[in-house]
Every structure is written in structure tokens, then in C-alpha cells.
Chain A
Amino acid sequence: MSSRHIDMVASDFSVLSHLDALESESVHILREVAGEFERPVILFSGGKDSIVMLHLALKAFAPAAVPFSLLHVDTGHNFPEVIEYRDRVVAEHGLRLHVASVQEFIDNGRLRERPDGTRNPLQTVPLLDAIESNRFDAVFGGGRRDEEKARAKERVFSLRDGFGAWDPRRQRPELWQLYNGRHAPGEHVRVFPLSNWTELDVWQYIEREEIELPEIYYAHKRLVFRRSGMWLTAGDWGGPADDETVEFRLIRYRTVGDMSCTGAVDSDATTIEKVIAEIAASRLTERGATRADDKLSEAAMEDRKREGYF
């Protein structure tokens, strides 16, 4: 691992580089949770943000093991490369993985498939069920405030009620770096250690720390079809429809989520350097380019958060 830690800018005063400052803040948050909660869990999707979060946890508690288990909310529409990556990382670091399966909830009738086939909104129920049955009191999410308007207003420590719901008007003011994690039995706290990171920060950190990612983040040739202005991967989940045609294109994924609503972007960025250059030059936000579920309405994320979503 290469890292440059302290950039001396004055003889008696030093300022951390922005990546070191963000890393230090996130590690501080992870350790606060380890110090104050009984049963924390890291939401781990195999996406780059959760991978960075896990990397930070490995550094925060070294040389000891990460004192949290992982929870994957599995929509059943997974990229095989991501599941393979997930299982490899879990084995490599001797972690414990819980899987909350949307498919199981559909199979036993507790959830119904949506007409559009999208399963992202269906993740909330299995997530809350896993939190309740495992009595998790702190749930780490990889959400960043630069992603979306509702996230821009959420706290680092976000208190959720017994239904997992977020009430923007009832948030606790968060002052200095004093996080208040007190909660009643049945309530839990969502914790977002990457709140202050941007997409570019995440990629620059991945480069600096030489963090391995699932290969779908880099440009590759894939069978895709066009829907709602995005390239979707053909698969068992329901695409393409009769009037949609499949093409073999050079693409990469900028975010990783449910296959049915995560779009790929045209890209020849096969290396991390090229990805960073591409993101810096991009004229579209990450969610705008790749997430069909956020296009549902102007307040889609706000509504889902209020129902207990990530």
C-alpha cells in the first residue's frame, strides 16, 4: 500500500491532504461505532463504496480483525462477478457474511414482484427484517452526500425508528465530530462513514490504496440493450423485451446494484487512471448516468429513505 501521509505546508503547521483527511474522518467514525455499539454490521454489496468502507475498517482495527459482520441485501439480480468478489473477500479476511434475500421474500409471499421487474425498492423489507432478527444496532452504509439531494441532508449518524424510517425533520443536529448514537430498544442507527467523500475521492483513494474491485467497473465487451437511455445487461431478470435489441458493446459500470436498474456507460477505461480521467471529465452525475430507480420521481430517494431504505 502506498500512501503519502503528511504534507508539510508550513514549518510548524501541517495540513493533511484531502484523501488523508477523509480517511482519518471515516476511521474515526468506524472506531466511534466500535466503541459505543453492541452489534454493528456493514452493509456490503460488492459495490465500490462498500468495498472502500470495508478497506477503511480493515485499516481502522489492524492488526486485529474487523469487529463487525457484513450484511448483503441480495436482490437476486446480481452480477456474477460481484458475488464471486464478495465471497472471495469474505473468505480472505475471515469475515462473517449475512445474506438477506429478496428472492426468498418473493418465494414465500412476503414481497411481490413489481410490474417493471425492478427489485431495488424491494430491498427495504429484507433489510429491516435482517436488522431486527439479528438485533443490529448500528448499520454502516456506503452512502455519500454528493450522490443525491436527500442524502445531502442526512446525518453521519442517522437515527431510524422501529420501522427503519428516516424523518428529515427529526434529525439530531450533528456538531463538531461529536456523534450521538443513543437510541431506544428497537431503534437503530444508520452510520455513513463516507458521507463527505465524492465519487472522484473514492476513485482516487482506490488508486492510492491499490484496492481491487470487481472487473465490471472497468471497460469490457458485453451484451447489452437500451432501456430508458441506459445500457442494461441482458439476463434472467427479464430483459430484453421483444422490442429491445441486444448489442455487443464496450462498456463499464459506474455503480453496481440490481442488474435490472443499473445501467452501464460507454467507456474504454480499462485502467484506474483512465476511469479517474473519465469521471473527472464526465458531464453526468453518477446516479443520473446509471440509476433507473432515481428517475422515477424528483423525490424518489427521499421517499425510499422515509420507508427505511439505505
Chain B
Amino acid sequence: MSSNSTTAEELAGLSATTLLRFATAGSVDDGKSTLVGRLLHDSKSVLADQMEALEHASRSRGAGGPDLALLTDGLRAEREQGITIDVAYRYFATPRRRFILADTPGHVQYTRNMVTGASTAELTIILVDARNGVVEQTRRHAAIAALLRVPHVVLAVNKMDLVDYREPVFASIAEEFTAYATELGVPEVTAIPISALAGDNVVEPSARMDWYGGPTVLEHLESAESGDRAASHSSRFPVQMVIRHDGERYYAGQLLTGRLRVGDSVTVQPSGRVTTITSLDVLGQPADVVSAGSSLSVRLSDEIDIGRGDMLTSGPRPPRITKEIEATVCHVADTPLTVGQRVLLKHTTRTVKAIVEDIPSRLTLDDLSQHPQPGRLVANDIGRVRIRTAEPLALDSYADSRRTGSFLLIDPVDGTTLVAGMAGDSFAAVAVASDADADGWDF
């Protein structure tokens, strides 16, 4: 396989590869750390001094060979307690692509870490143990991937060696998971039978599962489409700051969705004033057209009062200009969120005062049951909220745009990030109601 014959020349020469951000979810017992260790090791991303340190650590813990799971253990606090307490970012590359991996633990109390990792991921790998199949935790991971609208989901059915590499075991797990994820609105599921420990179908195709004709995990990572193709084609350019020079004003920011062209008519949100783009500059290079993802500066034909927090928009679907927000939130702090609480809301480059008007329901991710009027949300809760802001926002639904449909609620006193919010309806699917309480399911 190409990735295994990586040469320095290949890696050094390919400076124009793309970047894929992905996340992993699963518990220690599912072999997640071993899978990540295997990906890093077999793609030759573990270097000699790291391998030496790994072998040393494995020996001191009484392991026979190098324990690949130790590669992803970071902090002393974690090693001492044998747990993963946070999101760790890993970097590796093949000649085809650069990867940024958000490695998140799978314990129930770490929903917030999985949500954090998934928020920037274009792909997520969910692990299950082939002996146990789809369990409560798997459903929770699928729900988070669906909630955060991660474009690609990979189900890695691990420990196939412990079920004698039998196809029916894999097929029934893949079928059950795919049905569940599809119901939640996950647009694409790829199921792969693997053994992280033995290396089957992680980087190298397995000789012991000739019934499987699909890609290995790494092959799939190399070929999955990057970028958020589901994102709205309408353009969103939040202004980060105004750069003033020689009497000229340059509006600096990152184009989050769509395109901008010189000559385009754009609306300044939330004021609604309309003006025209006279020039675009991508970090020193003048451009006629700029695509999503670029940081740039824009000049406009009219002298309008525009500052940080305003947004230039164009295209067929304008954002909603609103002070009333309904959203799904994941609570990420140790202090609760309560009805009536005054908070700050950070949306793109705009931070405004806001009040939590209602918390209509809390959601249990394991079975998607909802609990009406919980009164408050605590760490790792997922719930629906209704928020009123002091100033209008130019808001998209999260389903249309992850960057302009997301927000944070912040404690105005100590600055704590309280919740991660996603505007609009949460799951794309329509049929979830059948699994929920009879009194109505609005997720």
C-alpha cells in the first residue's frame, strides 16, 4: 500500500496536500488508544525517540511488547490514574494527506470532550467491540456525531480477531449501527471490520477477512472528501477588525461559507445596509474571487460604519436577524445553567448580553428520551434552550452552517464557557419521534 512505502522525498515534495480534521470516540475497552497508536505507528509517524520512550514505559508497567495505547497518554495526572481526561490533538501525514486528530475519551462524564472534538471534525471514527456490538455508549457517540453534524462517520468494528474474523458478526453490527445513525440524520456511514491490536484493516488490508472489499481505515481517511460540502452556498464574512491605513479601511476576517467576488453586492448585518466589494486581498495577494476558508481583507464602495461583530453576507439564503434563539446546547462547565440566568453569547465575532428564557427539555443521549422542563442543565447535559439577546444576531441554523449556526454562552462574572450551542433543530432526521416520549419530540 502506498502509505506504507512513504519516503522522505514523497512527504517533503507534496506541500500542496489537503488537511483532514477527524475525531475518535470510544472507551479504553474498545481499543481506541490502540487504534490511534496503530495509525500513528503503521503510518510511520512514531519516531525513534518516542518508540524508545514507549518501550521503556511499557516495560516499567510489566507489558511484554510496546503498548501502543501508551502513545496517546499525555499528562502525568492521566498516567497515574490510568485515564484520559481531555482532548488531545495528534498530527500525522501520509503522502496523500495531513491529518489532525482530536482524540477524545469515551466515558459518560466526558460528553463535553467528545462534543469539543467533534465540533471541528470533518470525520469521526466510532469504535465498537465486535464481541459486544452496538451498546448504549455507541448510541451516545452516534448521537453526538449527528448533533454536531460531522459530515462523515466511520464505524470501526474492532477486535475482529476475538470473533474469529467472522463476517456475520460484522454485518449485523454494521447494519444495526447504520440504521440508527441514518435515522439520526448522519449523512454517510462507512463500516470497517478491524483488529487494532493485530493491525487488520487499519493501515494494511487484512489477509484474514477476504470477505471485506472496502477500504482500510487509513485509506478511507485519505480519500474522504474534506470541507463541509453541506454548508450553505450563501456567503458569510464576519468582520474581525477594521484595519485603517492611509485613509483606507480594510475589513479583516475569515470567509466562513460561500464565495466573495469583486463587484458583488453584499449586505452588512445586522444593519441591513447594502454596499459593493471594490477589492479583495488574501494576505498580500489581490484576488477577484475568494472561497470559504480563506482569511482576507475586503474594501467596500461606501463609507458605512462597520466594525467587529458585523457580518457581510450575500447569496440566496440570508441569515435570520433575530434576538430570539432556539437551540440545542451541550453544557460544558461545572456550574449549572438555569432558567433566568444572565449570560454573554458569543456568535462568530459578536458577543452580546443574553438571558436564558427557558430550558424546555433535557435529552438523554443513550436512548434519546427527553425530560421536559428540567429547570437547569449541568455538566455534560444536552438540552434545548430558548435565549433572548440584547442585540440582534445574524444567525443561520446549525444545519445550514456549522460556523455561523454555533455559539457559546459565557458566564459574565468569571468568563467560564458554560454551553456550546447549535441554533435551530438538532437532528436532521424526521423519524426520531418514534423513539421518544409520546408527548412530542422536537429534537
User: A residues bordering B, Cβ < 8 Å?
Assistant: 1, 3-7, 9, 13-24, 27-28, 31-32, 34-35, 59-64, 145-146, 149-150, 152-153, 159, 168-169, 171-178, 180, 182-184, 195-196, 198, 200-201, 204, 207-208, 276-277, 279-285, 288-289, 298-299, 302-303
Contacts and interface: CB of A to CB of B under 8 A. Distances in A.
Contacts of A23: 283, 295
Interface string B260-293: 0000000000000000000000111101001111
B250 A63 contact: yes
Contact of A281 (B8, B403, B414): B8
Nearest to A28: B254
Contact of B245 (A64, A183, A298): A64
A151 to B, nearest CB: 9
A302 B93 CA distance: 26
Query: Most chain-B CB neighbours within 10 Å: which of A31, A174, A208, A281?
Result: A31
Contact of A18 (B18, B74, B245, B283): B18
A177 B403 contact: yes
Contacts of A285: 47, 49-50
Interface string B17-31: 111000000000000
A175 B75 contact: no
A184 to B, nearest CB: 7
Contacts of A298: 53, 57, 76
Contact of A149 (B48, B74, B100, B285): B74
A285 B294 CA distance: 31
B406 interface: yes
Contacts of B407: 178
A175 B12 contact: no
Contacts of A172: 416-417
Given A177-B403, A178-B346, A284-B48, A35 B88 contact: no
Contacts of A28: 240, 253-254, 295
Given A20-B294, A23-B295, A200-B93, 8 more contacts: A14-B292, A15-B226, A24-B294, A32-B240, A61-B252, A153-B74, A169-B86, A173-B116
- Classify chain B's interface size: 35 or more
B426 to A, nearest CB: 15
Contacts of A175: 115-116, 119-120, 332, 406, 408, 417, 420
Contacts of B290: 6
Interface string B416-435: 11001000000000000000
A5 B287 contact: yes
Contacts of A174: 116
B293 A27 contact: no
Contacts of A60: 252, 283, 295
